[in-house]
Amino acid sequence: MKKVNVAIMGLGTVGGGTYEILTDNHDYIKRTQQLDVRVKRVLDRDRERVLSRGVAADVFTDSIDDVINDKEIDIVIETMGGVEPAKTFILKALGSGKSVVTANKELIAKHWHELEPAAKQGGAGLYFEASCVGGVPIIRALTESMQANHICELYGIINGTTNYILTKMTEDGVSYESALREAQQLGYAEFNPSADVDGFDAMYKLSILSSLAFHTTVPFKSVYREGITRITAADIKTAGDLGYVIKLLAIGRRNGDKVEARVHPTFVPLSHPLASVRGSFNAVLLTGDFVDDIMLYGRGAGARPTGSAIVSDVIFCATRKSHAYTDFGVSEHAGQGVDITSDFTSKYYIALTALDRAGALASVAKIFGEHGVSIDTVLQKGSAGDHASITFLTHTASEHAVKEALAKIEKSEYVRSINSMIRCL
């Protein structure tokens, strides 16, 4: 029976869930995996919080040196979040030859290029299944199950907070502000929700997932990012009327040396499997050149789902004879010979307010035509006064062409405002 001693750094929500699993399922893991996993140290600033979870007093420490200098500790679990001091602590652990399991997507996305070399130099493993999509084993699927395929595309709903907000707006007809308040009350959204609603969380995750999927570094700074704060009840209703639902999608595609990576609200057809992903659930749809489509679905956040992924990594790490690293060598910059393009193609939903008079619609359509943007559907509704609401659905067009057309349309004498521009799947 192999004995494995672990340290947990940070016993907040995720760290607490991890400790609970390792404690409650200790005997089950011992019986099924032939591993005796023990929590030997818990590093945290709040002693009372740690002891209130049933952790023995002699297990608690507030000094990283107690973790690094303990030769009996094999694996360090980082659930502190943020960049510092997590980065410094992880580098110390890797440098001492201790493998690290982390759920820290921001840290991996920003400093993967420093952490992986440190792991190699220390002869240690670096595992981060829990950094993306909570309890859904997406990273293991990419690295252990899809090797026979070139992955062409991935589409994901990878942020539970925004999916919950958009679901409430769609199903209950509430405003963005009301849905956000409810998400905060339920603990899905932080007091400062920017990381979720402005798309940063999904951006970090997509950087990691697309790098693994396409076997090249896709830096987080190269991911196009747009959040959900401008989505209105009118957008939600129009989407439903047209047979769509709005989701914050993370989209990665590779075609030869061209890679696109983007996070933004998207009109998803009701017939698409991602359209039915509701509430705080997450899902990722992968397309391989031989396997075709595979979809993974489950809880994308929370103490237990994320803790489940962490413990899975602990077991995976403990049972390996040697540690594996990326085959492309993580860099701070885009992979050599790869063009991460910002001029992708899509269909577009565009809503604007124009003067309700002859020539207005023709003027807007003419500008679209001049920029090579073909119109599929037009809906026009009169409103109070002398204004009209006009909605366009375009055929597939380039991002740059649409934005250039809208910049010119916004200056038109007929147009009072461009209210929405949302890409369509």
The predicted model gives 187-202 an average pLDDT of 93
Q: Show the DSSP H helices in 96-191 as ranges.
A: 105-122, 138-140, 160-172, 176-185
The predicted model gives 160-180 an average pLDDT of 95
How much is the pLDDT for 375? 96
> Which residues does 158 contact at the CB level (< 8 Å), separation at least 6?
132, 133, 201, 202, 205, 206, 209, 250, 282, 284, 300
d(CA 161, CA 360): 39
Query: Whole-angstrom distance between the N-terminal and C-terminal Cα of the chain?
Result: 51
**pLDDT tens digits, one per residue of 236-277:** 999 999 999 999 999 999 999 999 999 999 999 999 999 999
The predicted model gives 110-119 an average pLDDT of 98
pLDDT band at residue 383 under the 50/70/90 scheme: low
Given a contact cutoff of 8 angstroms between Cβ atoms, the answer to whether 114 and 121 are in contact is: no
How much is the pLDDT for 388? 87
The better pLDDT of the pair 148, 336 is held by 148
Angle, nearest 10°, between helix axes 13-24 and 303-318? 60
Which of the residues are catalytic? 205
d(CA 128, CA 187): 23
Mean pLDDT check: name the lowest of 14-18, 341-345, 383-387.
Answer: 383-387
Asked whether residue 382 carries a pLDDT value surpassing 70, the answer given is no
pLDDT band at residue 286 under the 50/70/90 scheme: very high
How much is the pLDDT for 262? 98
In terms of C-beta density within 10 A (0-12 exposed, 13-18 middle, 19 or more buried), how is residue 70 classed?
A: middle
Strands 345-355 and 415-424: antiparallel
Mean pLDDT of the chain: 95
Given a contact cutoff of 8 angstroms between Cβ atoms, the answer to whether 324 and 144 are in contact is: no
The residue whose two tokens read 């366009």 is 392
How much is the pLDDT for 179? 95
Q: Identify the helix (H) or strand (E) that includes residue 98.
A: none
**pLDDT tens digits, one per residue of 1-56:** 999 999 999 999 999 999 999 999 999 999 999 999 999 999 999 999 999 999 99
The residue whose two tokens read 């609200």 is 265
Q: Identify the helix (H) or strand (E) that includes residue 321.
A: none
How much is the pLDDT for 409? 96
